């Protein structure tokens, strides 16, 4: 049972310059989404991070909104939030796989994204995972984004040579 395991959690990063996060949430299951956002906001606040929140229709639109913001706005990192609950058709698989793949591709292109889109079998699983006093997956996604922002800043300006050492 996953709930009884203990896991190591990295301490939150400390920033010497302001950080701005964009939370992109698909509020299809509004109560679940609200809990995810609450957890993400609390984690960001613990680091003194400024947060904006935008809503999109569904999980498939989350990576598109992040890509738009990455091109057109000024954010240091992103938190992808939403919930996909398995239904009677294969649409669940498409939404889970495609939203996750698109978020991963954006990350590989340099965007600092914490993925907190829940993919669950039922509402009860979603409620436990979204609860800020429970598994706090929204807070975990914000923490992941903040860790990536810290790494990005650490490595900013460093360049690799072309095969010659200084």
Report the catalytic residues: 91
Cα–Cα distance between 33 and 39 in angstroms, integer? 10
Token digits for 55? 């809503």
The answer to whether 80 and 105 have CB atoms below 8 angstroms apart is no
Which residues does 40 contact at the CB level (< 8 Å), separation at least 6? 21, 23, 51, 79, 81, 114, 116, 138, 139, 141, 142
Cα–Cα distance between 51 and 48 in angstroms, integer? 10
Of the candidates 29, 14, 156, the one whose C-alpha atom is nearest the C-alpha of residue 81 is 29
Cα–Cα distance between 91 and 124 in angstroms, integer? 20
């Amino acid at each position: 049972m996953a709930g009884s395991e203990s896991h190591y959690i990295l301490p939150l990063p400390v920033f010497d310059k302001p950080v701005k996060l964009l939370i992109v949430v698909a509020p299809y299951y509004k109560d679940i989404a609200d809990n995810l956002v609450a957890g993400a906001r609390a984690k960001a606040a613990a680091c003194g991070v400024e947060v904006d929140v935008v809503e999109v229709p569904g999980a498939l639109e989350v990576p598109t909104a992040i890509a738009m913001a990455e091109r057109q706005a000024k954010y240091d990192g992103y938190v992808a939030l939403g919930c996909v609950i398995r239904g009677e058709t294969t649409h669940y698989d498409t939404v889970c796989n495609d939203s996750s793949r698109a978020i991963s591709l954006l990350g590989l292109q340099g965007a600092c994204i914490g993925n907190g889109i829940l993919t669950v079998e039922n509402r009860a699983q979603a409620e436990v995972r979204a609860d800020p006093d429970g598994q706090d997956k929204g807070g975990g996604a914000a923490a992941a984004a903040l860790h990536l922002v810290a790494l990005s800043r650490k490595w900013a300006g460093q360049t690799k040579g072309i095969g010659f050492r200084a």
